[in-house]
Amino acid sequence: MARTFNAPSRPGHRTVRASWFAFRFNVRVLAFVAVAALALTLLTLWAMTLGSLPLSFSEVMRATVGQGSDDTQFVVRTLRLPRVLSAVLIGISLAIAGAIFQGIARNPLVSPDIIGINSGATVCAVTWIIVGSNQALLPLAAFAGAIVTAAAIYGLSWNNGISTNRLILVGIGVGAVVSSGSTYMIVRFPIEQARPAIVWTMGSIYGSDWADVILLGGVLAVMTPLAVFLMAPLRVLQIGDVVTRSLGLSLERTRLSLMVVGCALAGTSVAIAGPIGFVALMVPHMARMIAGPQSGSVLLFTGVLGGIMLLASDVVAQHLLPVSLPVGVVTAAVGAPYFLFLLYRSNTRM
């Protein structure tokens, strides 16, 4: 039977031990997670009240559980709920992926969209959409593009070790190359054939359905526990390669595991919604500012913040502007100035 020790080595931490495992959690950070989850729940309910058919909170809640008029149930359960849940799950996936890649590179300016991972997923997905292949396999195509691009970036960055600056520069270069491949595929084929890919590259969750929710939920259900489990080795990686090896940690195996988890989350998100930028960059940084250094508890907080950010951005894009826009436009409008702010802070410290 597991036992909880209430005399932790650090204030606010609790440790649970059993015969074959032990884990430690931060009570303060879990409180942040609970508050953020409550805020996300309220935002989710509010988002489903908005639209051409305004609904009250009570109507939304009744329709969600299968009560109320048929029209209300159709609007809530068929049209709005899948879109809202897709936004939440994609935000969680992108935020966790961003935290993983920032940890691998030991740099807060790194994210899957900055160093080309999303671009690799995009070029494969665009090709898959245009050539008219089985669309059910689109997530696998995006994941393959992400993992191949990550492997190329890692291999080109390797020189008796990984330099953070070299990883970022190589990632930006590789991302530019594969992005040109997406552009080539779009202009190479007739506009009628390429139009779905053009719309998809804007980054939108318009038209999300329950199949997307099930796919995103399944990937998160598998990858989130793996990501939390890998947070302890990831924190060891922050010390440096030499010290990591001296502690007996398999450096390359750990990095490979982290990259597979990060690419799976980012690739699935890109497959469903297209390349949505800057969520993976901003949210992990904000989570660390609020909750402290990366850990399993902070990773959960990062994911919930990602869901809040993307859903809030979609509400702004759809309901608070004169015209409806893809959610990627709003995240880019907010994220680009934030990225410049991070660059300014980094230059100031240097």
What does the pLDDT look like over 202-221, one tens digit per residue?
Answer: 888 887 889 889 999 999 99
Q: Are 48 and 80 in contact (CB under 8 A)?
A: yes
HEC string of 99-139? HHHHHHHCCCCCCCCCCCHHHHHHHHHHHHHHCCCCHHHHH
pLDDT of residue 224: 93
pLDDT of residue 39: 96
Question: pTM for the full model?
Answer: 0.88
Largest CA distance in the chain: 67
pLDDT of residue 4: 43
Q: How many CA atoms lie within 13 A of 173 on its CB side?
A: 11
Task: Give the pLDDT band (50/70/90) at residue 10.
Answer: low
Task: Report the SS3 class of residue 26.
Answer: strand
For a pLDDT cut of 70, what percent of the chain falls above it? 89
321: its two tokens: 């502007």
What's the mean pLDDT when you consider all of the chain? 84
Instruction: Return the higher-pLDDT residue of 164 and 256.
Output: 256
pLDDT tens column, 20-46: 555 566 788 889 999 999 999 999 999
Task: Report the SS3 class of residue 241.
Answer: helix
The amino acid that residue 198 corresponds to is I
Mean pLDDT value of segment 46-72: 87
Instruction: Return the higher-pLDDT residue of 81 and 167.
Output: 81
d(CA 260, CA 244): 20
pLDDT tens column, 129-145: 888 767 778 888 888 88
Q: Which domains does the chain have, with CATH numbers?
A: 26-45+83-349 (1.10.3470.10)
Task: Give the pLDDT band (50/70/90) at residue 7.
Answer: very low
Q: Are 145 and 167 in contact (CB under 8 A)?
A: no
d(CA 45, CA 54): 12
pLDDT of residue 251: 76
Alpha-helical segments (H) within the chain: 27-49, 57-64, 70-73, 81-105, 117-130, 138-157, 164-188, 191-200, 210-229, 231-237, 241-246, 251-273, 279-291, 296-319, 327-349
Angle formed by the axes of helices 138-157 and 117-130, nearest 10°: 140
Q: How many CA atoms lie within 13 A of 128 on its CB side?
A: 24
